[in-house]
Amino acid sequence: MRVDKKRDLMKRRRWRIRKKIVGTVDRPRMSVRFTQKNIYVQFIDDDAGNTIASVSTRAKASSSLSANVAGAGELGKLAGETAKAAGIESVVFDRSGSRFHGKVKALADAVRDAGLKL
């Protein structure tokens, strides 16, 4: 499959999912985005359009992590701690069209172990 076609299908999948998933102040959306080198996690209040908290492998605290299953697990723990510090108890999980296995599953399990409800 051509790269541009694959990218277009991924974009359409993300839009289709985003029509149904909405974060609020009480239960923000936990958006997860994976690239080849990095992982990005944001806790977003869609009503106000604000990012409440964010964690990524590019941050200084987690710069040694990479975009693999082990890195996703460690980043999930860090994301859970950051969310707890921001006063977040439960979230809506937005996996951005990625399948729920491997890195996505490891990150979600680590966030649950940190004490957040998905």
List the CATH number of the domain containing 94. 3.30.420.100
- Asked, for residue 92, whether it belongs to a domain, the answer is yes
Question: Minimal CA–CA distance to 30: which of 106, 108, 113, 102?
Answer: 108
Q: Is residue 14 part of a domain?
A: yes
Residues 6+ apart with CB under 8 A from 94: 17, 18, 21, 23, 29, 30, 31, 32
Interatomic CA distance for residues 83 and 98, integer angstroms: 22
Gyration radius of the chain over CA positions: 14
The count of domains in the chain is: 1
Kindly report the pTM of this predicted structure.
0.86
pLDDT higher for 61 or 36?
Answer: 36
Residue 99 lies in a domain: yes
Candidates 85, 78, 53, 83; CA nearest to 63 is 78
Do the domain assignments include residue 27?
A: yes
User: What pLDDT, on the 0 to 100 scale, is given for residue 17?
Assistant: 87
Q: What is the mean pLDDT of residues 44-52?
A: 93
* 118 falls within a domain: no
The residue segments making up the domain with residue 45 are 3-113
Q: For residue 45, what are the contacts with CB-CB under 8 A and spacing of at least 6?
A: 23, 24, 25, 28, 29, 51, 52
